[in-house]
Chains A and B, each alone.
Chain A
Amino acid sequence: MSLVVRAPARAATPRRRNVKLGRIIVRYVFLIAVLIFAVFPFLWTLAIALTDKTAGGSIYNFPASLFPKAITFHNFADVYRTFSLGKYIWNSVSITGMTIVGTLLVSALAAYPLARFRFPGKGIIFAVIIATLVLPGETTFIVNTLTLKKMGLLGTHLGVVLPTVAAAFGIFLMRQAFLSVPQALLEAARLDGAGELTILTRIMLPLSVPSLAALGIFTLVGTWNAYFWPMLALSGAPDAVPLSVAVLKLKGQFNYDPFNIAAGSIIMMVPVLLVFLAAQKLFMRGMEGAVK
């Protein structure tokens, strides 16, 4: 009882209040320090990308290079032209687009029977799909390149995409979405003589748009940023590589021109950053959902 009385009384004394205010200030100072650590590389890259390189000066001229005086967009046009960046942007769009369509299609198709049908082997198949999340795949990339070579797909966008579209995460996510669609809707459609494909496309998918969107966004960000696998699968086809791989080639080729590299980096980052900022809540909830 006495505790209840004492607590507000303590909070009311000026000393107490100062301590509390001090704690909040310390908290913010710390959070801002972490913030600088997290976003500084981006801000500096942006500053370099916007710097007028014709005005002279090095990117290593501190602190001047962190705050460009003469701002220009010339670097973006320059890197686009001299490095034919359009080609790599198109490659990224092609690989990412195909991966998203493929992932949504394969996941939705596989998730439908797992959520809604009774068939022999269902439990085993589901367990095996989930097991791929934890199976150590240290050598899969070696065999996959050999397989793609045999299929004549090594060095093509399809070859980059195919091994990635059937993933447990997507199948699991869509299965959860389909499980929540009321059974009565399906029964009614079946009585009306609708085929299963019609039910999937006309009932299940429209009712699962939030999950489809989430899966699409996750796939977009992951594929757009992917480096190792596209680099490996396209190592024999330098013109087919996406931006994520090209940006490092850019670094090698234009080492003397960090302004162009920075501009190219910003171009690569913008789509993902926009998607992330727009879908930020969804993103973080998706992550949190993975724990629960």
Chain B
Amino acid sequence: MARSQPFNARQPRARYSLRDTLLSYGFLAPALILLTLFTFYPLAYGSYLGFTEYGGARFAQGLAPKWIGLENFRTLAADPLFLTALGNSVKYLVIVPVLQLASLSVAVLVNKNLPGMAFFRAAYYIPVVTSISLAAVMWDWVYNKEGTLNWALGVLHLIPEGSFFGWLNNEQTAFWAVMLVTFWRGFGYYMVLYLAGLQSIPAELEEAAVLDGANSWKRFWSITVPLMKPTILLCSLLSTIAALRVLEEVLVLTNGGPLNSTYTALMYVYSKAFQGFNFDYGLASAAGLVVAVVALLLSVVNFRLFHESDGGEA
């Protein structure tokens, strides 16, 4: 009988039962052990490594990490490659407003009860469930010098036949070409999130606005956007952090090139730790910490921005 005590309303002050406590921790053990080993420990140890010299010869000789304080961060501040990488990561943020506006608009368009809308929604989501490696294979052909993008632009007379180039091999275009793939894989995801938000807008509001003669643009800006604020905040937060952490697209499409034009901050973390022969876990961890701090700051800024504009209207 003791086992039912925790749920007994007549004994709200019942002490924890030893049996329930032991059972609970027994059931939780696999999850807690795995989380500790592969999430919390790496977070803590990785942060520590950022302040040490570790990797390369030191690692090969089996020596422990050596505490060097802020040395790694000084190295980073003086490394033009890291500054380029960080700059590219920040530049990557231009995708956030474009991606959010596009997926919100598409969500509004497929939210209407017209034939075929379920099909469009499903089709737009397919890139989301596609592996980045497959995306790389397919977009490589599109971006190829002889690929479909150049062909289509040629047909439309947007670029002359003779001046075709590989979009991923050109330092002017590679960055934007990679970003388009991020956009392609992302807009279906945010569209679904926005759809959920749109469906919670009361239909009477729309109807009232129609009767008042508000056109669809007006309705979009004065009803949809304000009411969708919480969803927009969530989506732009997710998308800001995702943009700052872009790595896979770059890795599989350009490996940071040409001339480091697509080299992002996490690409730097990865390549310092694992590419080449002189892997430097300490420096890579320090770079990871910088990215983490920037991500955290951007989240706060994002939150503040939306919060303030919210208060201003009220």
Task: Give, as a whole number of angstroms, the nearest-CB distance from B169 to chain A.
Answer: 14
Whole-angstrom CA separation of A135 from B41 in the bound complex? 13
Among B148, B193, B295, the most chain A Cβ lie within 10 Å of the Cβ of: B148
Interface stretch, picked from A68-76, A208-216, A242-250, is A242-250
Judging by beta carbons under 8 Å apart, are A228 and B24 in contact? Answer: no
Question: What DSSP secondary structure best describes chain A's contact surface?
Answer: helix
Judging by beta carbons under 8 Å apart, are A44 and B138 in contact? Answer: yes
Residues from chain B with a CB closer than 8 A to the CB of A41 are 135, 138-139, 141-142
Whole-angstrom CA separation of A53 from B49 in the bound complex? 52
Cβ of A258 within 8 Å of any chain B Cβ, yes or no, is: yes
Name A113's contact: one of B23, B136, B151 (CB within 8 Å).
B23
Cβ of A42 within 8 Å of any chain B Cβ, yes or no, is: yes
B9-48 to A contact mask, C-beta < 8 Å, 1/0: 0000000110011011101101110110111011101110
Whole-angstrom CA separation of A261 from B137 in the bound complex? 8
Judging by beta carbons under 8 Å apart, are B42 and A129 in contact? Answer: no
Name A136's contact: one of B247, B248, B270, B296 (CB within 8 Å).
B296
Interface stretch, picked from B73-81, B92-100, B218-226, B283-291, is B283-291
Query: For window 82-104 of chain B, which residues contact chain A by CB distance below 8 Å?
Result: none
**B interface, size bucket:** 35 or more
Residues from chain A with a CB closer than 8 A to the CB of B49 are 139, 142-143
Beyond A136-B295, A163-B34, whether A143 also contacts B46 by CB under 8 A is yes
Judging by beta carbons under 8 Å apart, are A110 and B31 in contact? Answer: yes
Judging by beta carbons under 8 Å apart, are B288 and A138 in contact? Answer: yes
Judging by beta carbons under 8 Å apart, are B121 and A142 in contact? Answer: no
Name A44's contact: one of B3, B42, B141 (CB within 8 Å).
B141
Judging by beta carbons under 8 Å apart, are B234 and A109 in contact? Answer: no
Cβ of B175 within 8 Å of any chain A Cβ, yes or no, is: no
Cβ of B300 within 8 Å of any chain A Cβ, yes or no, is: no
Select from chain A the residue with minimum beta-carbon distance to B46.
A139
Residues from chain A with a CB closer than 8 A to the CB of B106 are 31, 34
Residues from chain A with a CB closer than 8 A to the CB of B16 are 118-120
Cβ of B147 within 8 Å of any chain A Cβ, yes or no, is: yes
Cβ of B4 within 8 Å of any chain A Cβ, yes or no, is: yes
Residues from chain A with a CB closer than 8 A to the CB of B197 are 291
Residues from chain A with a CB closer than 8 A to the CB of B23 are 113, 117, 196
Name B50's contact: one of A139, A165, A190 (CB within 8 Å).
A139
Name B130's contact: one of A146, A200, A269 (CB within 8 Å).
A269
Judging by beta carbons under 8 Å apart, are B133 and A247 in contact? Answer: yes
Query: For window 122-142 of chain A, which residues contact chain B by CB distance below 8 Å?
Result: 122, 125, 128-129, 132, 135-142
Cβ of A234 within 8 Å of any chain B Cβ, yes or no, is: no
Judging by beta carbons under 8 Å apart, are B137 and A142 in contact? Answer: no
Cβ of B192 within 8 Å of any chain A Cβ, yes or no, is: yes
Cβ of B122 within 8 Å of any chain A Cβ, yes or no, is: yes
Beyond A166-B31, A166-B34, A232-B274, whether A248 also contacts B291 by CB under 8 A is no
Whole-angstrom CA separation of A2 from B130 in the bound complex? 53
**A interface, size bucket:** 35 or more
Cβ of B306 within 8 Å of any chain A Cβ, yes or no, is: no
Beyond A24-B114, A38-B188, whether A129 also contacts B38 by CB under 8 A is no
Name B122's contact: one of A42, A117, A277 (CB within 8 Å).
A277
Judging by beta carbons under 8 Å apart, are B30 and A247 in contact? Answer: no
Judging by beta carbons under 8 Å apart, are A284 and B124 in contact? Answer: no
Cβ of B179 within 8 Å of any chain A Cβ, yes or no, is: no
Name B284's contact: one of A110, A128, A139, A165 (CB within 8 Å).
A139
Whole-angstrom CA separation of A227 from B127 in the bound complex? 15
Cβ of B176 within 8 Å of any chain A Cβ, yes or no, is: no
Name B196's contact: one of A119, A258, A292 (CB within 8 Å).
A292
Select from chain A the residue with minimum beta-carbon distance to B273.
A142
Judging by beta carbons under 8 Å apart, are B109 and A30 in contact? Answer: yes
Residues from chain B with a CB closer than 8 A to the CB of A142 are 42, 46, 49, 269, 273, 281, 284-285, 288
Residues from chain B with a CB closer than 8 A to the CB of A145 are 274
Beyond A3-B211, A138-B292, A277-B122, whether A225 also contacts B30 by CB under 8 A is no
Residues on A lying within 8 angstroms of B by beta carbon are 3-4, 7, 23-24, 27-28, 30-31, 34-35, 37-42, 44-45, 48, 58-60, 62, 105-107, 109-110, 112-114, 117-120, 122, 125, 128-129, 132, 135-147, 162-163, 165-166, 171, 183, 187, 190, 196, 200, 221, 224-228, 232, 235, 244-245, 247-248, 251, 258, 261-262, 265, 268-269, 272-273, 276-277, 280, 283-284, 287-288, 290-292
Pick 5 A–B contacts, CB within 8 A, sort by A.
A117-B23, A143-B41, A143-B42, A144-B38, A248-B252
What would 19 more interface pairs be, CB under 8 Å, given A39-B126, A42-B126, A139-B269?
Answer: A7-B211, A31-B120, A37-B184, A60-B147, A60-B151, A119-B21, A122-B24, A136-B291, A136-B295, A137-B42, A138-B266, A140-B42, A140-B43, A142-B46, A147-B38, A190-B3, A227-B131, A244-B133, A272-B129
